[in-house]
Amino acid sequence: MSSLRRLLATAAATAALTAGIVSLPSSASASAYSAPTALFLTVADGEGGDVVSRAVVLTCDPAGGSHPAAQQACNELAAVTGDIDALSEGPDNCIMIYDPVTVTAEGWWQGHVRSFRATYVNSCLLYRQTRAVFDF
């Protein structure tokens, strides 16, 4: 299966869970399963975020999906209990060129619904603030 098909299949599964088409195990059998962590991440050029230029799926516990640095991204998110806003800024210096990017994250962190959307002045500031999470 091509990586694009794998990404689309994972995104479709994520959408199905979100829409309630597929359900998670009942609480009686939930102890046999860990709470799901799956995020659909997008990067779009510009402030509107209308045209997505890149997208990946990040799963954690175990780290995987189509994210190229899944383990690092999961570790960084685990340190802030999945709160992307709480990620600490990296040490990189950025040139202040206005070339905005808009990112989104939709899905679950340890079974809790997460939704994130932000626009950054440029890609350098995006990576400085979000570290490995949107570095794909």
Could you report the per-residue pLDDT of 30-57, keeping only the tens digit for each? 434 568 899 999 999 999 988 999 999 9
- What's residue 92's pLDDT? 79
Residue segments in the chain with a per-residue pLDDT below the cut of 50: 1-13, 15-32
CA nearest 117: which of 50, 61, 20? 50
The amino acid at 6 = R
52 is a domain residue: yes
Look up residue 35 and give its amino acid: A
Predicted structure pTM score: 0.75
CATH number, domain of 120, equals 3.30.350.10
Residues 6+ apart with CB under 8 A from 50: 44
For residue 95, which phi and psi values (nearest 5 degrees)? -80, 135
DSSP letter at 51?
S
pLDDT for residue 80: 96
Task: Name the residue type at position 93.
Answer: N
Q: Which domain holds residue 66?
A: 3-130
User: What is the total count of domains within the chain?
Assistant: 1
Give a yes or no: residue 49 inside a domain: yes
Distance, CA of 122 to CA of 94 (rounded, Å): 9
